[in-house]
Amino acid sequence: MGGKTLTAKERMAIPRAKMPEQNPAARAANFEEVPFGLTAEQAMLEAQRCISCRNMPCVAGCPVGVHIPEFIALVAEGKFAEAAREIKETNVLPAVCGRVCPQEIQCEEACTLWKRFGGVSIGALERFVADYERNNNLVKIPKKDSSTGKKVAVIGSGPSGLTVAGDLVLKGHEVTVYEALHEAGGVLIYGIPEFRLPKEIVKAEVGYMESLGVKFVMNVVVGLTMTIDELFDELGYDAVYIGVGAGLPRFMRIDGEDMNGVFSANEYLTRSNLMKGYLFPEYDSPLPPGRRVCVVGGGNVAMDSARTAKRLGADVTIVYRRAREQLPARSAEVHHAEEEGIEFKLLSNPVRLFGENGRVTGMECIRMELGEPDDSGRRRPIPIEGAFFKIECDQVIMAIGSGANPVLTKTMKDLELNRWGYIEVDENNRTSMPMVWAGGDIVTGAATVILAMGAGRIAANSMHAELMGLPQPGTEES
C-alpha cells in the first residue's frame, strides 16, 4: 500500500492501531512495561490514517507544537529515524512523552478523525520512532554551535531542567545540572513506575544529554550544599534555571495519618522506583507488600501507586471524592488499572484512619454527591450527611497532590513567590532575580511532563538571548 496513492476515504477506513500489551493477569504480577509498542508494519499503517488536513489541529493541541503531520509522513514512508529527529526539533524526550503524555486531551483529541474514527495514535507513533531510533543506535549527536564561553547552572534534573540543559548546550553554552537525589530524571525516575516508563529509557535520555556535553552533578541540594550566590559569585555561572518541581507531599490532615502503613504517594513510589524496594531484600530499602491497600486520589499518581501496590500482591481500592468522568488520570491509566482488577470507590472521601498499636487497620469514609461547579469548572463534591462507611486496610497511600518544596526558595530572599510558594515568572519564564529563570512544576504547580518541557524551552530561548545580548523572544526586534 503506497502512502501517496490512498484517498482520504481509504485512509479513514484503516482501523486504529492497537498496541499489543501484556495481559492483565500476567502484568499485575510483574514490573515490566505494559504495552509492547507498535511493530514497524503497524506504525506505517497507522501513519497512513493521517489525512494531512490543512489546518493541523493536532499541532495546536500539542503544548510544544511538535511537527506532527511531518513526522507522521516520514513514518508512513518508513523513515523512522528521520521521523524521530523531526520530533526532536521541538521535543527532546519523545520516548518519554510518547508514553506519558495525556494525548487524549491534547493532540489526539484535536485530530480531525477523533470523533468519528478515533484520532491517529500520535502517542504510539511517537513512542515507536523514538524507541526505533534508540534501539537501533541511530541517535545522532546534533552539531553544536561553537562555544559561547557562557556558563549555565540548571537546578533539578526533571523534564524541564533536562530540556533547558539540552537546548542550551546545543547553543554552545557550558551547562551543568545539579540534582538533589542520586539519580537524574526527577519524577521520571522516582515517581513514574517502571511498568509505565522503563528507567532504562530515562537513563538513555540522560546519557544522550551527557554525550552532548551536559555535566550532571548528583547529590547537591542547592540551598543547602551550596547557595545560589555561590553559583554566581564563586563558580562563575552567568545564568541559572530553577526546575525543582513540586515535590512536597500533601496529607489530608485527618486523624490517624501519622500511623505506620500510611504513606504519601511520593514515599511509596520513591521506595519502589528510585530505591527498588520491590526487589527487597536484594535491595535494602523495604517496601512491605500490603494485603489490602487503599489509595486516596484519582490522578496519575494515584493510578501509579495503586498499580504498584497491586504488583506487590495487594487487593487495591482507589478512593476518590468525585465521579468517574472527573478522574484526572490519563484515560489509559484508568483503563489499565481497571483491567488489572483495581477497585474504584468513587464519590467517597476518607474522614479518619483507625489502627492498632500505631499501625493502620482501616479507614472511615463519607459518601459524596456532586453539587455546583467549582473554580476548576468541575462539579464540587459535597459530603452526604451521615453517610459513613468503613473500609478495612493495612496500608493507605495518600495521592492527593503536592505543593512547592521551600528548601531552595526560602534561601533566596529576592525571589518572588506567589501565595502558594510557587515561583513568579514573566512570559519568558524570567523570575524577579536577574539572570535567574524558572519553569515546570515549581512555577505552575503539579502539571505534566510536556508542560514542564515547554516551559524549559521558553526559558532556554530567553536565557540564550540574554546571554548573547540579543533581544528577548517576543519583543519587536526579535
Partner 1 sequence: MKGTIVINEQVVPNVRRLVLEAPAIARHAKPGQFVILIPDAEGERIPFTLSDWDASEGTITIFYLEAGVSTMKLSRLKPGEAVYTLVGPLGKPTEIEKVGTVLLGGGCYGLGGIYPLARAFKEQGNKVIALLEARTSYLIYNEDKIGEEADEVIIATADGSRGVRGHVWEAIKILEERGEKIDHAHFVGCTYMMMTSSRATEPAGIPTIVSLNSLMVDGTGMCGCCRVLVGGETKFACVDGPDFNGHLVDWDNVFARAGAYVGEENLAYQFHQSRADGAIKDDGCKNCGKEAI
Ligand X SMILES: Cc1cc2nc3c(=O)[nH]c(=O)nc-3n(C[C@H](O)[C@H](O)[C@H](O)COP(=O)(O)OP(=O)(O)OC[C@H]3O[C@@H](n4cnc5c(N)ncnc54)[C@H](O)[C@@H]3O)c2cc1C
Q: Which residues bind partner 1 (CB under 8 A)?
A: 180-182, 218-221, 224-226, 247-249, 251, 253, 257-261, 263-264, 266-267, 270-271, 275-276, 280-286, 288, 357-359, 405-407
- At residue 222, the 3 state secondary structure works out as strand
Q: How far is the CB of 57 from ligand X (least distance, A)?
A: 20
Q: For residue 293, what are the β-bridge partners?
A: 316, 395
Residue 49 to residue 14: CA distance in whole angstroms: 6
Residue whose CB is less far from ligand X, 183 or 466: 183
Residue whose CB is less far from partner 1, 60 or 351: 351
Residue whose CB is less far from ligand X, 256 or 440: 440
Q: For residue 390, what are the β-bridge partners?
A: 364
Question: How many other β-carbons are positioned within 10 Å of the β-carbon of residue 199?
Answer: 18
Residue whose CB is less far from partner 1, 105 or 248: 248
161 binds, among partner 1, ligand X, none (CB under 5 to 8 A by kind): ligand X
156 binds, among ligand X, partner 1, none (CB under 5 to 8 A by kind): ligand X
Q: How far is the CB of 127 from partner 1 (least distance, A)?
A: 28
Residue whose CB is less far from ligand X, 74 or 244: 244
The residue type of 450 is I
260 binds, among partner 1, ligand X, none (CB under 5 to 8 A by kind): partner 1
Residue whose CB is less far from partner 1, 56 or 269: 269
282 binds, among ligand X, partner 1, none (CB under 5 to 8 A by kind): partner 1
Q: How far is the CB of 358 from partner 1 (least distance, A)?
A: 3
Q: How far is the CB of 449 from partner 1 (least distance, A)?
A: 18
Residue whose CB is less far from ligand X, 47 or 301: 301
Residue 104: Cβ-neighbour burial (10 angstroms; 0-12, 13-18, 19+): middle
159 binds, among ligand X, partner 1, none (CB under 5 to 8 A by kind): ligand X
155 binds, among ligand X, partner 1, none (CB under 5 to 8 A by kind): ligand X
Q: How far is the CB of 109 from partner 1 (least distance, A)?
A: 32
Distances (CA, A) of 430 to 297, 338, 423, 459: 33, 42, 10, 7
Q: How far is the CB of 266 from partner 1 (least distance, A)?
A: 5
Contacts of 347 (CB under 8 A, 6+ apart): 320, 321, 322, 323, 367, 368, 369, 370, 381
Q: How far is the CB of 351 from partner 1 (least distance, A)?
A: 17
The C-alpha cell 473500609 sits at 391
Confirm if 268 and 424 have CB atoms less than 8 A apart.
no
Please choose, from the candidates 354, 149, 346, 313, the residue with its C-alpha nearest in 3D space to the C-alpha of residue 239: 149
Please choose, from the candidates 338, 284, 278, 339, the residue with its C-alpha nearest in 3D space to the C-alpha of residue 309: 278
Residue whose CB is less far from partner 1, 247 or 454: 247
DSSP 74-114: HHHTT-HHHHHHHHHTT-S-HHHHHHHS-GGGTHHHHSTTH
300 binds, among ligand X, partner 1, none (CB under 5 to 8 A by kind): ligand X
Contacts of 414 (CB under 8 A, 6+ apart): 432, 433
Helices and strands, counts by H and E, the chain:
20, 15
Q: How far is the CB of 371 from ligand X (least distance, A)?
A: 28
Residue 318 to residue 291: CA distance in whole angstroms: 14
Residue whose CB is less far from partner 1, 144 or 291: 291
Residue whose CB is less far from partner 1, 13 or 235: 235
The C-alpha cell 540564550 sits at 464
Contacts of 459 (CB under 8 A, 6+ apart): 160, 164, 241, 428, 429, 430, 437, 438, 439
Q: How far is the CB of 138 from ligand X (least distance, A)?
A: 26
Residue whose CB is less far from ligand X, 45 or 435: 435
- At residue 68, the 3 state secondary structure works out as helix
Q: How far is the CB of 364 from ligand X (least distance, A)?
A: 26
Which residues contribute to the site for ligand X (CB under 6 A)? 100-101, 155-161, 178-181, 186-187, 191-192, 220-223, 243-245, 247, 269, 300-301, 304, 330, 405, 407-408, 440-441, 446-450, 452
476 binds, among partner 1, ligand X, none (CB under 5 to 8 A by kind): none
Q: How far is the CB of 186 from ligand X (least distance, A)?
A: 2
Residue 152 to residue 238: CA distance in whole angstroms: 6
465 binds, among partner 1, ligand X, none (CB under 5 to 8 A by kind): none
The residue type of 244 is V
186 binds, among partner 1, ligand X, none (CB under 5 to 8 A by kind): ligand X
Cell of 264: 504519601
